[in-house]
A and B are shown apart, each in its own frame.
Chain A
Amino acid sequence: MLTRGQLTRDFSGLAVVVGLLLLVTFLPPDTSLSEVEAKGAIRACVPTAYPPLVTGDPDRPGIDIELLRAVAGELGVRLVIATNDAIGRDFNPRHWNVTRGVCEVLAGGVVNSQLTRSFLDMGPAYAQTGWAIVAPEPLDDIEGHTLGALTLISGLDRIGLASYLRRRNVTVRVVRSGEDLAAGIAGGSLDGGVTEALLAAGLAAEKDWWTAPLPAELARYDLVFGLWKGDLTLKRKIVAAFAKLEADGRLAAILERYGVEPSGVVPAL
């Protein structure tokens, strides 16, 4: 026989414990958000150009820049962009000199991969990317072709791509920039190029070329903002801001303006 009084007595202790623990979860675990708010600005490190995420064009600044502005607006702070031309020039992120002292957010081609997660925390995903191929004419089979490889973005699986291309007997030429790749393809020294999907899409749109994602055996990744590990309070605020951007359609509008499929915000919390 469990009387009501007995049950209440038994579970009141448990309820108090659960309540206390729930209260604890509302304590701020760190100072990252309060620092941003105190400065009145959020600083973002981005590459000089990484279309369509970062273009350098004041009228169409790129998806990530527009998103960052919207997020900063939600946070009620200014956005300070710190362009970093080392990103994209150098494979080793250590040489980029991106530190906690320079910016709070790293954007412009950060993907959610094991490698990224090893160094950074991340905001919600807003689009998908992966390796894609771009060429003037559709290529049924890449076997035996000579392709330019542009691997600006850090975090995608370069080793996986290299072994995939090797298995397909592709002759790989590493190129340094989007212009080099476009010039190579246009000049005929390359049959086509392999690069990050959004970049490939932008290039294809610009030159009216053909593009296709590489087969599923090479993973696809979510595009995210990189955040410093341990900056939980800031991260939560950014996640909330993204949720709002998605809810009121601003996120979809920004992506559409650059011709990118919205993948829907994947909540990171």
Chain B
Amino acid sequence: MTTSEPAIRVDALSKRYGRTLALDEVGFAVQEREMFALLGPNGAGKTTLLHILCTILRPDSGAAFIGGSDVVREPLAARRRLGIVFQEPSLDDRLTVHENLDLHGLVFGVPRKIRRQRIEEMLDLVELTGWADKPARTLSSGMKRRLEIARALIHDSEIMLLDEPTVGLDAQTRERIWSYLERLRREREITVMVTTHYIEEVEGCDRVCIIDHGKILALDTPEALKREHGRQVLRLVLRNESDRQEILTRFAGRLAGETGAAAEAPILLNSDDAFVDALLAEYGNRLRSMAIDAPSLETVFLSLTGRELRDQAAGARERTLAFGRRGGEHTR
């Protein structure tokens, strides 16, 4: 890898599924040893982008390079550099933890001696050494994630792609996974590209790329994003409907996002301290609740998309898969 070449480069990448435009002329570059976050709600196109990068999906147009290798024309060279953690679990749950890692090493052509040594190191890194001989299905979902991260490192990958590695995990486990990633980047000097829809997680990343509906909305360091797009947002819930309507029409110019129709749905208003004071003076005794969101990535996203980034209900496909995972085991 030459120093001039970025670890990942994406040029005007587009991908369409039928009528859904999953990626729309996406372009960016990730530098070596960078911790790069791809932030976007469900359906933003994050997985699609990652699948193109790891060569299992072909783009409709545009190009992508891993360390200078074109993912379409030189998929093998590109894949050799990559360590991938897919969004959906891809462990073999009938194999033990160790066997899963060993299989990965075999398939990636890691010689036996290095394989054995690397497996030990990686199990140690993700703190699963004591579980080596347990079947993968007995692991908790957080442990499975950690195992998948360990697995992606067995073949000495330089670039880690992680697709929502923390989705569905509890806060403590999520923190732990981020600490592994941080440590990996520091000690192994690897590039990490991670997707997430948990906004609070990306604060520690070098750069954050906000993506929605297949388009890049912003790409910068978390600080710069907050500076540029972050606003103080006021959340208001009023006691009666007439006041609610009054505020909605009176401050229409300050509305920070879509407001739900329900009477209990908060009104989001761009604000500053002077505005807060004025509002309190006039409506203070008619409010049910009020909250002030300081400029954060959350408000950055809100101001960029007009929507809040929240967990959305699982799609039909996710539900089918979950069902199969529970009930389909014996048929596998």
Contacts and interface: CB of A to CB of B under 8 A. Distances in A.
* Chains A, B in direct contact (C-beta < 8 Å): yes
B229 interface: no
A20 interface: no
B98 interface: yes
Interface centre among A1, A5, A6, by most chain B C-beta atoms within 10 angstroms, is A1
A3 interface: yes
Contacts of B102: 1
Contacts of A1: 98-99, 102, 116, 132
B133 interface: yes
Interface in B91-132: 96, 98-99, 102, 116, 132
Contacts of B132: 1
Nearest to A2: B99
Interface string A1-43: 1010110000000000000000000000000000000000000
Contacts of A3: 133
Judged by DSSP, the binding face of B is helix
A50 to B, nearest CB: 64
Contacts of B96: 6
A13 to B, nearest CB: 13
Interface string A198-225: 0000000000000000000000000000
Question: Number of contact residues on A: which range applies?
Answer: under 10
A200 B116 CA distance: 77
Interface residues of B, number: 7
Contacts of B98: 1
A6 B135 CA distance: 10
Contacts, number: 9
A1 B117 CA distance: 12
Nearest to B98: A1
Contacts of A6: 96, 133
Interface string B274-313: 0000000000000000000000000000000000000000
Nearest to A6: B133
A5 B135 CA distance: 13
Contacts of B133: 3, 5-6
Contacts of A5: 133
A1 B123 CA distance: 14
A3 B102 CA distance: 13
A4 to B, nearest CB: 10
A1 B116 CA distance: 8
Interface in A178-235: none
Nearest to B115: A1
Interface in B127-149: 132-133
A209 B133 CA distance: 82
Interface in A101-130: none
Contacts of B116: 1
A6 B98 CA distance: 11
B31 to A, nearest CB: 38
Interface string A74-90: 00000000000000000
Nearest to B96: A6
A107 to B, nearest CB: 56
Contacts of B99: 1
A170 B247 CA distance: 128
A1 B118 CA distance: 13
Nearest to B132: A1
A3 B135 CA distance: 13
A3 B133 CA distance: 8
B115 to A, nearest CB: 10
A6 B96 CA distance: 9
Nearest to A3: B133
B288 to A, nearest CB: 61
A126 B216 CA distance: 91
A1 B133 CA distance: 9
A14 B102 CA distance: 24
A20 B132 CA distance: 33
B77 to A, nearest CB: 31
Nearest to A1: B98
B136 to A, nearest CB: 13
A231 to B, nearest CB: 43
B92 to A, nearest CB: 14
A3 B116 CA distance: 14
B138 to A, nearest CB: 13
A1 B98 CA distance: 7
A185 B45 CA distance: 105
B179 to A, nearest CB: 28
A137 B99 CA distance: 82
Interface string B185-229: 000000000000000000000000000000000000000000000
A217 B96 CA distance: 64
B135 to A, nearest CB: 10
B184 to A, nearest CB: 24
A5 B133 CA distance: 9
Interface in B72-104: 96, 98-99, 102
Interface of B: 96, 98-99, 102, 116, 132-133
9 contacts: A1-B98, A1-B99, A1-B102, A1-B116, A1-B132, A3-B133, A5-B133, A6-B96, A6-B133
Interface of A: 1, 3, 5-6
Instruction: Please name the 7 residue pairs, one residue from A and one from B, whose CB atoms are nearest each other, closest first.
Output: A1-B98, A3-B133, A6-B133, A1-B102, A6-B96, A5-B133, A1-B116
Given A1-B99, A1-B132, A6-B133, 6 more contacts: A1-B98, A1-B102, A1-B116, A3-B133, A5-B133, A6-B96
